[in-house]
Every structure is written in C-alpha cells, then in structure tokens.
Structure 1
Amino acid sequence: MIDYSLYLVTDRTHFSKEEFLSIIVAACQHGITLIQLREKDITTIEYVNWARDVKQITDNYGVPLIINDRVDVCMAVDASGVHIGPEDLPVKEARKIIGEDKILGVSANDVPAAISAYKDQADYIGVGSIFKKNQPVERQMAALKQLKSIVTDIPIPVVAIGGLTETNLYLLRDSGVAGVAMISEIMQSSNVTEKTKQLRRSIQLMKGGIYH
C-alpha cells in the first residue's frame, strides 16, 4: 500500500545540486511519504542523472519516487512510477509502457476526467490547484467542493495540490483526501526537518478530522 499522506513535489530552482539533494535527504528522514521529481527546462540526460541521484536517496529511506511527465525517464531509472497531466501521454498508453507494477498518477480537475483516468488504470488522482495565490474565497470554496466530489466519485486515492500550507490544511479536514502535495512549503522552508515533522503531525490531525 502506498502512503500518499505527505507528497513532496520538487523544484530545483535557486538551489545547487548539493543543496537540492540535502533537502531530499531531510524530507525523507523526517516524514515525506512520496516524492515526485518535477523539473522543467532540463535535457533528457540531465533529467535521468538527477533522477538517479534522487532515487539513490529515496531507495535508502524506502520512499517511492515518482517522475513527472516523463515515462522514458521513469523507465530509464526504474522509478516507482510516473505522474502525467492532460497534455502528456494518454493514460492508457502510459500504463501499457510502465506495466502493472508501477504507480501511475494522473492530474484531473473535474469528476469526468477523474473517472476517465480511473477507468484507464490510474492508481491515484492529483487534484489542483486548490488554493491559488490571491484567489477569492468563493473560488477556494468551489475548488474544495470539486475536490470532495472527485473523492466521492472515484474509488482510488486523491491527492490535493496547489497553494497548500501548514496554515490552511484544516480546510481539508473533511475532504476525504488520501494526502496533500506540496512544493514551496517544503522546498523553500528554512528548516526542512522541522517543517516536515510539523506537516506530518498536522496531516494526521487533518485526516482524523480533529484539526484545529
């Protein structure tokens, strides 16, 4: 069983490779349950090299590594799985390539798209952006309602992403999500160790419906 509770999506911007990898180590040591290597503006060989370095760490800590978009990179480094969006390889084709044993995540922002991905053998659905910057409250509430509808209508795990922070996690307390995905909240933290520990505690409370 995969634990989607605290899902780190990477962003190497502004970091040296050494700094980046040290963040991955700290996150794996202190509570991250899944990592998605999501890097843009990078050549294929660079992506493969970064993925190999990250996988060495995630394997050491028993944390599944997901590759964003690139099925070829996933297969090249034997990552745990791949996450694709609506403009990437079709879900059915991705499943054929990676086989039955790897994790297949799919981004979907409405119920029909989520159901389609489920039928095409996605293992989990990523839903976002839940809280866009400067988004009106009404839009936030609409995004939460859509998230809950997707959770209700599909029998596979749903992960929320987009603008999620330690301070707004409580808004997901009755959503039924399997976990939350975060980028800057962790990557940009001044203390990744303490931030990861606190997020794990907060998510446990949120999922238990007792977040205050």
Structure 2
Amino acid sequence: MKCDKHTMLLYAVTDRAWTGRETLRQQVEDALKGGVTCVQLREKELDDAAFLQEAMELSALCRSYGVPFIINDNVEIAIKCHADGIHVGQEDMAAADVRAKVGPDMIIGVSAHSVEEAQLAVAHGADYLGVGAAFSTHTKTDVDVLPEGRLKEICDSVDVPVVAIGGIHKDNILKLKGSGADGVALVSAIFSAEDIEAECKELKALAEQIIYSNSTF
C-alpha cells in the first residue's frame, strides 16, 4: 500500500491513556467506524512481545477496513507485523536507513519541524511528513509549537503529503485552513472522546473543510 494524501485526511495516533472502559482494539475499531483514514500504533511502555501481539491484531483490523496501519518508531515490529508503514522522529533512525531495512514498498513517515528537516527527510525517502506541534499539546512535552506560517512553508517546500499534528481538536482544527496540510493527526481528540465513532465523523467533516480550503486557497 503506497502513501496517498487522501489516506492522510484523518490520521489516528493511539494512546492507551484512555483505555479502561474499552480496550485499545475496541477504541481503534470505533475510530475506523467513524471514518479515520490512517492508524498509527504508538507504544512506549510495552515489551516487544506484547507490542508485537498488539500490532498483529491491529494490523489485521485495519486491513479489514482497508486503512493503512503505521507503527511508531519500532522498525522491527513494523516488519514482523507486516505493517503498511513506519513513522520515525528526528531523534530516531534516519529515513534512508529505515528504507534500507524495510524495502521499497513500506510507507515511511518522518516528523519535521522546519523546512530543512522536511526537505532532508523527503530526499532520504520519506513518503509523508508529520509536522507540528500545530498547537500547544500535553501529549508530547518535548515539541515546541510551530511559529506562525511555518506549517505552510513546509507544505509549500515538499511534494509529499503533510499531516499537521499537535494539540489539534474540533475547536481549533479550522485554524489550519489555508496551511496546505493534507490532513490532521489526532491523539486525545479521538481517544479521550466519550463516543469515539461519533467524534471521528465530526472531525472528518471538519478535516475535509481544511482540505477544500487548501485546494482553493
């Protein structure tokens, strides 16, 4: 499965902080029913065996919905579970090294915070970029909010899909109009919702407004 900007529209990034009432698998399926177009599994605490078991389960689930499944950071897990893609940050393995490990077909996403980082990632084989933080976020405390206009500069500088991430929710999502972003990546806005399926339907409609505005900007 190759990267397509349409599959970047509503990109769900998991966080088990809100599991309990439902399992992570149930939450992801709720999100898929609500129309998310891509799912990234991010796990920082699980050991490799538990991570792989969960990844295999969610990979099969996403495949049944025809939605790309991305692993955060762990290249070996991505290969073993036959994920559609791998996402790495600036402090992780370089995109060129990831490509050498995963081969030509796996989607590679890279986090970028400047035009220079974005262009280097694309030159090294990134298929899409995650750019942020768009707004203040409590999910990742080690990322600064982008200066005004930076997201558009990055979008204008590359020819791969760009996903805005960081602090995005339904009350500020439309501020991304005209930014050039091809989609939004959301964590708490999706997985902390009381009704994840309904929330995703609403968020997807808002994300479509952003993309429409970008195409006519």
The two structures share one fold, judged by TM-score above 0.5: yes
Checking the alignment, whether the CA contact within 8 Å between 1:27 and 1:196 is kept in structure 2 is yes
Match of 2:191 in 1: 187
Match of 1:177 in 2: 181
Matched, 1:209 2:217: no
Q: Tell me by how many angstroms 1:12 deviates.
A: 1.0
Q: Tell me by how many angstroms 1:143 deviates.
A: 3.0
Q: Tell me by how many angstroms 1:18 deviates.
A: 5.2
How big is each residue's C-alpha offset from its partner over 1:178-206, in whole Å with a ceiling of 9 and x where there is no partner? 10000000000000111010011111112
SS in 2 for 1:83: strand
Tell me, in whole angstroms, the C-alpha distance in 2 between the residues paired with 1:199 and 1:95.
Answer: 32
Q: Tell me by how many angstroms 1:13 deviates.
A: 2.0
For residues 1-12 of structure 1, what are the structure 2 equivalents within 5 Å?
Answer: 2=4, 3-12=7-16
Checking the alignment, whether the CA contact within 8 Å between 1:36 and 1:66 is kept in structure 2 is yes
**For the structure 1 residues 42 and 167, does the alpha-carbon distance in structure 2 shift closer, same or farther, using more than 3 Å as the test?**
same
Give the aligned CA root-mean-square deviation in angstroms.
1.8
SS in 2 for 1:41: coil
The structure 2 residue matched to 1:103, chosen from 92, 103, 107, is 107
Q: Tell me by how many angstroms 1:51 deviates.
A: 0.4
Unaligned runs of 5+ in 1: none
For residues 68-87 of structure 1, what are the structure 2 equivalents within 5 Å?
Answer: 68-87=72-91
Match of 2:55 in 1: 51
Checking the alignment, whether the CA contact within 8 Å between 1:111 and 1:153 is kept in structure 2 is yes
Tell me, in whole angstroms, the C-alpha distance in 1 between the residues paired with 2:162 and 2:36.
Answer: 17
Matched, 1:156 2:160: yes
Tell me, in whole angstroms, the C-alpha distance in 2 between the residues paired with 1:144 and 1:194.
Answer: 31
Checking the alignment, whether the CA contact within 8 Å between 2:137 and 2:166 is kept in structure 1 is no
How big is each residue's C-alpha offset from its partner over 1:81-132, in whole Å with a ceiling of 9 and x where there is no partner? 1000111111111011111111000001000010000000100011111101
Checking the alignment, whether the CA contact within 8 Å between 2:86 and 2:108 is kept in structure 1 is yes
Tell me, in whole angstroms, the C-alpha distance in 1 between the residues paired with 2:20 and 2:50.
Answer: 14
Unaligned runs of 5+ in 2: 139-143
Tell me, in whole angstroms, the C-alpha distance in 1 between the residues paired with 2:170 and 2:21.
Answer: 26
TM superposition score normalised by structure 2: 0.90
Checking the alignment, whether the CA contact within 8 Å between 1:130 and 1:144 is kept in structure 2 is no
Checking the alignment, whether the CA contact within 8 Å between 2:190 and 2:200 is kept in structure 1 is yes
Tell me, in whole angstroms, the C-alpha distance in 1 between the residues paired with 2:65 and 2:180.
Answer: 27
Tell me, in whole angstroms, the C-alpha distance in 2 between the residues paired with 1:17 and 1:89.
Answer: 35
Work out the number of aligned pairs and report it: 205
Tell me, in whole angstroms, the C-alpha distance in 2 between the residues paired with 1:57 and 1:49.
Answer: 13
How big is each residue's C-alpha offset from its partner over 1:134-189, in whole Å with a ceiling of 9 and x where there is no partner? 9xxxx96x534111100001111111000000111111110110100000000000
Tell me, in whole angstroms, the C-alpha distance in 1 between the residues paired with 2:71 and 2:155.
Answer: 23
Identity, % of aligned positions: 34
